[in-house]
Amino acid sequence: MTAQQRIAFQGMHGAYSDQAARRAFPGATTVPYRTFEGAFSALEDGDVELAVIPIDNTLAGRVADVHHILPESGVHIIGETFLRINHALVAVPGTRIEEIKEIRSHVHALGQCRKLRKELGVNTVVGSDTAGCAKEVADLGDKSIAAIAPALAAEIYGLDILRTEVEDAAHNTTRFIILARDPLNIANDGTPVVTSFVFRVRNVAAALYKALGGFATNGINMTKLESYMVEGHFTATQFFAEVEAHPEQLGLRHALEELQFFSHEVRILGVYPAHTFRRENDLPAE
């Protein structure tokens, strides 16, 4: 990874996605895009080399937009990174907490800081993203308006940090996937890996049960299984799954063959190293 490489993320500079990209690739240039579609398109078109995109949060669950965009994008997952979410209360320089009458932030951030909101008893305004709300506060220059945002956003937009770690839950963590145009060729050498794939089962009785049976009989640990409708049909369901195994391992090879028999489509989105965060925090390869 060189400093000249560019990494796309959704949001504004100072967002948690920006922070995750900077931590994963120190010295690289992070490039903001307003939407997930914009970040994916930039990667597909060659405007950037990589993209760092959130896919799950321990409190908010899956990032639904990403689960819909990723399978159709043509890009590949080559890695993952985890970021502990530390919310900060930020305001224009010189602000005292007792002066605050309004707090702005993303809907999830506001929901994750209920204790602070109750303590201060102020109005709340939902914004598009945490970093964007921090920039709004900086642009307004009004001491009565604060934001819940990353500390990085306060640094970028010249705001004071009045309090740190204002979130209610200490386990608030987001998992990000690292995307590239080309797949990662990772050896089947015993190193812990994650295989991500999508599939659509045939519309027959017990198809899902039969399709997944091969993972159990072959001793493959499936750590994620998400379903969502596609093409506007209630009977057309696509599944996003992840397992702790390499496709070249005999057990997973047999499981995928059985899955293919009961499915219209099986497509691998990425095979990549499991992040050390999983072992350090005793987490499954989600």
Helix (H) or strand (E) segment spanning residue 44: helix 36-44
**Is beta strand 123-127 parallel, antiparallel or unpaired with respect to 102-106?**
parallel
Token couple for 109: 């951030």
Question: Among residues 174, 197, 199, 262, which one is catalytic?
Answer: 174
Tell me which DSSP letter residue 141 carries.
-
H/E stretch holding 254: helix 250-261
Q: Which residues pair with 159 in a beta bridge?
A: none
176 included as an active-site residue: yes
Please state whether 18 falls in left (phi above 0), alpha (psi between -120 and 50) or beta.
Answer: alpha
Return d(Cα 275, Cα 193) in angstroms, integer: 8
Task: Look up 174 and say whether it is catalytic.
Answer: yes
Active-site option among 36, 82, 176, 240: 176
Map tokens 């770690």 to a residue. 165
Write out the catalytic residue numbers.
174, 176
